[in-house]
Amino acid sequence: MLLGTASIDITPPVGTPMAGSLRPRASVGIDDPLMCKAMVLSTGETRVALVTLDLIAWTRRRSDEPRAVIAAQAGIPPEHVLINCSHTHSGPYTDESIDLSGSLDEAYLARVKTAIGEAVCRAAADLKPVAVGTVKTSFGGVGQNRRFLRPDGGAINAWLARPDEGGLPLAGPNDEDLMAWVFFNDGKPTATLWNYTMHVNTHFGTSFSADYPGRVAASLQEEFGAGFFSLFLPGTCGDINNIVSFEQVHRRLSEAMGKVVRRATPGDCDALGAMWKEVRLGVRDREPFQEAEIRDKWPDCLDVFENEDRLLKADPQDDVITVVQAIRIGDGAIAATPGETFAQLGLDIKQRSPYAMTAVGELCNDIVGYIPTLEGFRQGGYETFRSRWARVAPGSGEALVDELVEMLERI
């Protein structure tokens, strides 16, 4: 197998409004640069590109132009290109559907589109022979399901719970799988593609930051050399948050990933493949406004959701068309979902996958908002408060699981 990598800085100017909360906040500095990273894998006949952006989300329609550039200049078909966002909450707004600042910077978005195409083409032009090892382990103690289950069966989010609700049972599972592909050149580890399931909002301040994936990448470079390349793929963490500080998260994960890389051994499986499929999901645009539940659970943001209700009802849709993707790399596979997916859905894919190591990634190739389970919809809570970022119909998540399992079986 051949591997090429490239990175481009996409940090916006200080002062740009920051995404990741229901109230916009102005950026005042840069704690870590935001990067566009690309990894190209090739077996000669097949090429696959994986791109990760240190951004909160990236839509399919803004990927069409970079995919065309990649196809024309690097010879990689669009369905073999995965474009993912880390979902850092310490970056800028990137789409109208999540822009609460009213000041989306189209010039900046054009810069990101250019960076995607350029990074992949650079990586494709610098392919080197590698051997691939896979590692799957368990790493806990830094995150958990962020939804508590009230006695009435309803869910309340951890940051909205009353002091007396801290001891409530969790409304859903956690996923503590830490898994990675480690790439070797002449027996030396030179790159990793890793997957972990926890919301990338542990930094959350007023300075731009790539959050824990960026700090882990820096730590791995310190240990394995300045040229060591790290690409992070977020797991299905739509309902998983950190329970320890940012410093503790990135230090513990850096130590864990260092052990993962040291544990990996070069393998001889060069299998590589990718599939892509359009899917149609129903939406909830015409549903009644959930005023009573929002007043009960998040009254301070009632005005935000009232505005979302007006926007959806003013221009209701019947469905959304998005994409799912499956990629095989050596002995492992990736199942890619297009939204903030609940952890149980990722666990379901892993349990049904024919691969012993299946990394399930969210916010890949599109952003359709939260994708709860059917049980999550019944429980309610923030992720089900209807809005432009929480509009897909109940059952969408289970349908995506079925599609992706079938694709994994076929690749």
**Nearest partner of 137 among 246, 269, 259, judged by Cα:** 259
Alpha carbon distance, N-terminus to C-terminus of the chain: 17
pLDDT tens per residue across span 366-382: 999 999 999 999 999 99
pLDDT tens per residue across span 332-347: 999 999 999 999 999 9
Residue 98 has pLDDT above 90, yes or no: no
Percentage of the chain exceeding pLDDT 90: 93
pLDDT tens per residue across span 109-165: 999 999 999 999 999 999 999 999 999 999 999 999 999 999 999 999 999 999 888
Q: Which band of pLDDT confidence, cut at 50, 70 and 90, is reported for residue 210? A: very high
Residue 24 has pLDDT above 90, yes or no: no
Residue 100 has pLDDT above 80, yes or no: no
Domain that holds residue 269: 2-142+171-274+322-370
User: How high does pLDDT run on average in the chain?
Assistant: 96
The conformation of residue 394, written as its DSSP 8-state character, comes to T
Residue with tokens 């492992």: 332
Cβ neighbors of 262 (< 8 A, separation 6 or more) are none
Judge whether 149 lies within some domain: no
pLDDT tens per residue across span 32-83: 999 999 999 999 889 999 999 999 999 999 999 999 999 999 999 999 999 9
Beta bridge partners of 387: 390
Judge whether 108 lies within some domain: yes
What pLDDT score was predicted for residue 408?
97
Residue 103 has pLDDT above 80, yes or no: no
Judge whether 286 lies within some domain: no
Percentage of the chain exceeding pLDDT 70: 100
Amino acid at 55: L
Largest CA distance in the chain: 62
**CA neighbours within 13 Å on the CB side: how many for 156?**
21
Judge whether 388 lies within some domain: no
What pLDDT score was predicted for residue 151?
96
| Number of domains the chain is built from | 1
Cβ neighbors of 340 (< 8 A, separation 6 or more) are 87, 237, 238, 362, 363, 369, 370, 371, 383, 389
Residue pair 76/49 in contact by the 8 Å Cβ criterion:
yes
Residue 101 has pLDDT above 80, yes or no: no
173 vs 267: which has the higher pLDDT: 173
Judge whether 66 lies within some domain: yes
CA dihedral angle for residue 249, residue 251, residue 253, residue 254, rounded to 10 degrees: 150
pLDDT tens per residue across span 295-310: 999 999 999 999 999 9
Judge whether 187 lies within some domain: yes
Residue 365 has pLDDT above 90, yes or no: yes
Residue pair 202/246 in contact by the 8 Å Cβ criterion:
yes
Judge whether 212 lies within some domain: yes
Q: What angle do CA 92, 97, 98 make, to 5 degrees?
A: 35
Residue pair 79/388 in contact by the 8 Å Cβ criterion:
no
What pLDDT score was predicted for residue 341?
98
Q: Which band of pLDDT confidence, cut at 50, 70 and 90, is reported for residue 268? A: confident
Q: Which band of pLDDT confidence, cut at 50, 70 and 90, is reported for residue 166? A: confident
CA 199 to chain centre: 8
Judge whether 192 lies within some domain: yes
Give the global pTM.
0.96
